[in-house]
Amino acid sequence: MGRKRNQGKARKAAKVKAREEAEEVRGNDKQATNLEQSLTAQMSNNNNAPTAGNDTIKMTCRHGFKIFDSAVSLQFATAFREAFYESAKGGGAGILSCLKAAEYATKDKFADVWNDSTKMEIAMSYFLFNGTRNILEGSNDVAKDCAVFARSIEQYIAVKLHQTRALVNFPKLNEIYNPSDVHTLVKFFRKRIPCSCLDAKYDEVKNITKMGMCYNQECSIPNGIVERSKTMYCSRCRCVTYCSPECQKAHWAQHKPICDNKAAIKAKFDAEH
């Protein structure tokens, strides 16, 4: 009898534990859902863009974003986004400075995310999901921000966590932020989502000329924006691009210290890999 009572108590305890674990999973899932909805609304409101789920647009595909077990990654995503926009207030800072400020602002609180490629990939997949949805809604400005966030996380994972490349490709971050280059914007998302939701949109924009940037601040081209096919990388560091050899030469004195440092990092990486 004593053995049966003990077995009965053990079964009862196991059921209670199972119910508690199920409740915890549902709670985490609900928290992640609430965070996602809140972050989506904040991103749209921050850019004066239409919110998701309006009467004319019904989204059913998550474009690869899996919400389960994503609460901490979404908390990180909203903190990173807010820090980026806080740094961008006033319009004086460039996107690279704002991204660095967002990294510094979240590095300590979300160290477990920054050091975990899986959690970083969840955050990236959220930005890919939200950016894709905003492209389909016609809110390219919101999508452009999501693209910069996603690409910065993608490059961080490659350089710092997986160590599959030596340096961040800064021109790629700037190219994705060009408001006139919808071709690059749509292509970026289309290559990274598992669905075909952007196929039709890509067909619409694929003939738009892709644009690049000349990093010589004295370039005669307005804002240094030039057709990408006409740009050239610095062959030593591959961290800047120019519209011509003349602009590269004119910018060399300013670029040389950075180039020396980046070239040394790249040489060390190549030797070790």
Q: Quick one: pLDDT at residue 8? A: 55
Stronger pLDDT, 145 or 55, i.e. the higher one: 145
> Nearest 5°: phi and psi at 257?
-60, -40
Look at residue 179 in the predicted model and tell me its pLDDT.
85
User: Residue 245 class from Cβ within 10 Å (0-12 exposed, 13-18 middle, 19+ buried)?
Assistant: exposed
pLDDT digits (tens, 9 = 90+) for 177-212: 888 899 999 999 999 999 999 999 999 999 999 999
Give the confidence band of 7 by pLDDT, cuts at 50, 70, 90. low
Give every CB contact of residue 99 below 8 A, 6+ residues apart in sequence.
84, 148, 152, 173
Strand bridging mode 241-242 / 232-233? antiparallel
Which of the four pLDDT bands, split at 50, 70 and 90, describes residue 149?
very high
Among 242, 204, 239, 208, which Cα is nearest to 224's?
242
pLDDT of residue 53: 38
Cβ-in-10-Å burial (0-12, 13-18, 19+) of 93 comes to middle
pTM confidence score: 0.79
pLDDT of residue 2: 53
Model pLDDT, residue 157: 98
Predicted confidence at residue 91, as pLDDT, reads: 77
pLDDT at 6: 56
The DSSP 8-state label assigned to residue 1 in this structure reads -
- Whose CA is closest to 29, among 58, 2, 68, 61? 68
- pLDDT tens digit string along 242-263? 999 999 999 999 999 999 999 9
Q: Taking the CA of residue 183 as centre, how many other CA atoms within 13 Å lie in the half-sphere pointing to its CB?
A: 11
DSSP string over 192-203: H-SSSTTHHHHH
Q: What is the pLDDT of residue 102?
A: 97
